Amino acid sequence: MSPLRWQHDTLYLLDQAELPHEEIWLKIVSWEGVAEAIRTMQVRGAPAIGIAAAYGIALGMQGTYSGDDRAARFSRVAATLRETRPTAVNLFWAIERMERLFNEQADSPGLPALLADEAAAIHTEDIEANRRLGEHGSRVLPSGARVLTICNAGGLATGGYGTALGVIREAHQSGKLSMVYACETRPRLQGARLTAWELTHEKIPFQLIVDSAAGRLMAEKKIDAVIVGADRIARNGDTANKIGTYTLAVLADRHKVPFYVVAPQSTIDRATLSGEGIPIEERSAEEVLAPFGTAIAPAGTAAWNPAFDVTPAELITAIITEAGVHRPPYSFSECEVARS
């Protein structure tokens, strides 16, 4: 279930703004088109945004560029893609990786093909990392696990397997999972639209809850773990993820429910020491006031719409990456220490 496909120098994206009612593949032939798809969340989820940006650079460096030399063209494409969304570090990580290749091969006649291959490698490696972290994560769950998740951290948000949903998928396949509770995830409803779509496809038992039902769910002791994805993990383990994640972590602490963050190592921002340094995207008030075009508040109502929050490391039971299960105290240095 990959939301991205690269074929004949063209990027195809499964339009996540239209799911679950319509399954439309967008044909993207320009880097500007990729930037727009990221901005409008037709492609979303930290790893998927990074992969899309890498393909965007490959698109941007094809053919001839009027007025620009190669280096100027690369800078312009990379700068525009960097400005699309600020929180998911995978975007910056993928662009930097493409930039390293560009710097090594800037004069090569085969540069466009090399960049396309590099983007495809980022894509494939993400799926492989997801599969490995899915296995590590599934091992920490008890049998018959009932889990709670938020947003969509599934195949749609990644190269094609999923982080939090990768763990859930793996646990389901090994017969360990009894129920998934999915927060609908206001205001963009990634849980109700996208996670529900994926779980339905996979025939994984789940129930949707409104975000504010999470406390009641935990009070009735119906869950064994909260499992969430991440947009950026600081060096000390503080983690930015979809708005509402921090609320779940506080509730999990109160109810003694283990709280797991699941992400590939490309989501770890070793240059940022703690959550205080993570930029949090604020989106338009319209998303809150008139979701999907239907006004729900009186005209003139003001709204504040942060898209992410930061969960402090002290509330996180473990951070699960493809390298293993990392337990506190977290200290992600330049040289990663694998744990399992």
Residues that bind ligand MRU (CB under 6 A): 44-47, 88, 151, 153, 157-158, 163, 190, 229-231, 241-242, 307
Give the shortest CB-274-to-ligand MRU separation in angstroms. 19
Give the shortest CB-88-to-ligand MRU separation in angstroms. 6
Give the shortest CB-229-to-ligand MRU separation in angstroms. 3
Q: Kindly list the strands in the beta sheet with 232-234, ordered across the sheet, starting from the edge strand earlier in the chain.
A: 268-269, 232-234, 239-242, 308-311
Give the shortest CB-14-to-ligand MRU separation in angstroms. 14
Q: Which residue is nearest to ligand MRU (CB)?
A: 229
User: DSSP characters for 151-173?
Assistant: S--BGGGSSSSBSHHHHHHHHHH
Say if residues 275 and 54 touch (Cβ distance below 8 Å).
Answer: no
Give the shortest CB-112-to-ligand MRU separation in angstroms. 28
- Enumerate the active-site residues: 231
CB-wise, 76 or 283, nearer to ligand MRU? Answer: 283
Q: Strand pairing of 268-269 and 232-234? A: parallel
CB-wise, 61 or 150, nearer to ligand MRU? Answer: 150
CB-wise, 101 or 147, nearer to ligand MRU? Answer: 147
Q: In sequence order, what are the residues at sequence separation of 6 or more whose Cβ sits closer than 8 angstroms to the Cβ of residue 233?
A: 89, 239, 240, 261, 263, 267, 268, 269, 319, 332
Instruction: Report which residue type is found at 337.
Output: V
CB-wise, 97 or 186, nearer to ligand MRU? Answer: 186
Q: In sequence order, what are the residues at sequence separation of 6 or more whose Cβ sits closer than 8 angstroms to the Cβ of residue 309?
A: 240, 241, 242, 243, 244, 245, 246, 247, 280
CB-wise, 2 or 158, nearer to ligand MRU? Answer: 158
